[in-house]
Amino acid sequence: MEGLFLDPLVILLIAGCLGFFAAWGIGANDVANAMGTSVGSRALTLKQAVIIAAIFEFLGAYLAGGEVTSTIRKGIVNPMVYQDNVDIFIVGMMATLLATGSWLLIASKNGWPVSTTHSIVGAIVGFVLITKGSSFVSWDKILDIVYSWVSSPLISAFLAFVIFRSVQIFILNSADKSKAAIRLIPVYVFLVSVVISLVTSKKGLVHLGFNWSDLFVLKFSLGLAALLSVFAYLYLRRQASNLNDVNGIEVAFSLLMVFAACAMAFAHGSNDVANAIGPLAAIVSVVNSNGVINEQSSVGSWVLLLGGVGIVFGLATYGHKVIKTVGEKITKMTPSFGFSANLATASTVVFASFLGFPVSTTHTLIGGVIGVGLANDYKKLNLKQISQIVVSWVITVPVGALLTVLFYVFLRVLFGV
């Protein structure tokens, strides 16, 4: 393979290590999307959450991570503009992986829940700016991301506020809590089942070759949700004597949270593993095709395995910090709080996916948590913690870009490219 700056096997080894590092960062930071509220509300212990998330995140990443992934995420740049200088492209993809992993390490160490998608987007922007200039960046995509910083948390906060207030008024404050729970919780089971089914179908099963139409996905989700709501009704009737107080009702909501957390973890693993393996897949494709850059890169099973293991390892070693922030430091969390935030988050993500609007699951979840906090008692919201999170969101893209520039220069000097 004449022309590459290093032996192909060495390039793949280096890229594999950097891809694992980026996947580790995703596991350490982003898995709180699925598990933070469950741990904070005591529906799951931290150990249980880590085990459950490890299983479903890995299954999502490995089984449904996608046979094909764009070489450069979110259409920030056309990779074909680097066809005349493949070495620069490979070094740049290495720098983006290193920058993404480094920023997620910093954020996770401080317990900041940031968007891993925005991290890789910022890294790619930095690579394009230093190699091609600002005219090659698709700034309309960047503006969409900036818009999502505001819109997705606000939408999710509003939905979470409405959902929790309905739980509060119609069940928790009801004179006959048992009767209200038996009548209404199956309705919430139906809603969350529909939404989670849609999330899993749109973000997970599609990568397994289930090319279902939107209409079929909707019919399947409605049918499955109806079946689960019937089971929930029958179960709650058997537990009627335990539903006469708030504690018993919270236990019922905790079961809902565990179900939602498992499905969200699978969907997250299938979707966000591309953040780590996208640049890695691009490098592997270039090496395997004798220096030819393709707009789409086939992903080998070993690359998906590497990404899945990296996510699980990051969750197990460092995930507790962000989980604690989401579940404990923003506001007091109970199962009904967490359920409301999760349902609002999943609903916002589903609607955005069908509309083709880019959103961050992390930003959306934080908005949902703030929404339930407002519905319960706004005075109990930790405004200092919220302000730190918002600042970390704002600086994610520019920090990712800056780190990539620094690592790109370093790697070029190191490899003599």
pLDDT at res. 57 = 80
Q: Which residues lie below 8 Å from residue 228, measured CB to CB, with a gap of 6+?
A: 189, 190, 193
pLDDT at res. 68 = 41
3-state secondary structure of 199: helix
Q: How far apart are the C-alpha atoms of 407 and 185, rounded to whole Å?
A: 52
Domain ranges, residue 111: 8-415
Q: How far apart are the C-alpha atoms of 97 and 18, rounded to whole Å?
A: 6
Is residue 255 in a domain? yes
Q: Which residues lie below 8 Å from residue 59, measured CB to CB, with a gap of 6+?
A: 266, 269
pLDDT at res. 1 = 45
**Residue among 138, 135, 131, 127 nearest 403 (CA):** 127
3-state secondary structure of 381: coil
Q: How far apart are the C-alpha atoms of 151 and 355, rounded to whole Å?
A: 14
Is residue 27 in a domain? yes
Is residue 13 in a domain? yes
Is residue 1 in a domain? no
H/E run at residue 344: helix 335-355
Q: How far apart are the C-alpha atoms of 201 and 195, rounded to whole Å?
A: 10
Structure tokens at 254: 């905790």
H/E run at residue 52: helix 46-64
3-state secondary structure of 293: coil
Q: What is the dihedral of CA 347, 353, 355, 360, to 10 degrees?
A: 80
Query: Residue 388: is it exposed, middle or buried by C-beta count within 10 angstroms (0-12/13-18/19+)?
Result: middle
Q: Which residues lie below 8 Å from residue 96, measured CB to CB, with a gap of 6+?
A: 120, 123, 124, 126, 127, 279, 404
Q: Which residues lie below 8 Å from residue 102, measured CB to CB, with a gap of 6+?
A: 25, 403, 407
Q: How far apart are the C-alpha atoms of 125 and 137, rounded to whole Å?
A: 7
Structure tokens at 194: 């529909």
**Mean pLDDT value across the chain:** 85
Is residue 307 in a domain? yes
Residue 290 phi/psi, 5-degree rounding, is 60, 45
Q: How far apart are the C-alpha atoms of 35 and 105, rounded to whole Å?
A: 19
Is residue 392 in a domain? yes
pLDDT at res. 53 = 82
pLDDT at res. 296 = 64
Is residue 2 in a domain? no
Assess contact for 335 and 154: CB atoms under 8 A.
no
pLDDT at res. 71 = 41
3-state secondary structure of 144: helix
- Taking the CB of residue 171, how many other CB atoms lie within 10 A of it? 24
CA angle centred on 346, ends 341 and 350, rounded to 5°: 150
| Backbone CA torsion sign across 278, 280, 285, 290 | positive
Is residue 235 in a domain? yes
Helices 301-324 and 32-40 sit at what angle, rounded to 10 degrees? Answer: 30
Assess contact for 310 and 21: CB atoms under 8 A.
yes
H/E run at residue 383: helix 383-415
Residue spans of the chain under pLDDT 70: 1-3, 32-34, 64-75, 202-210, 267, 271, 295-299, 353-354, 356-358
3-state secondary structure of 297: strand
CA 68 remoteness from chain centre: 19
The count of structural domains within the chain is: 1
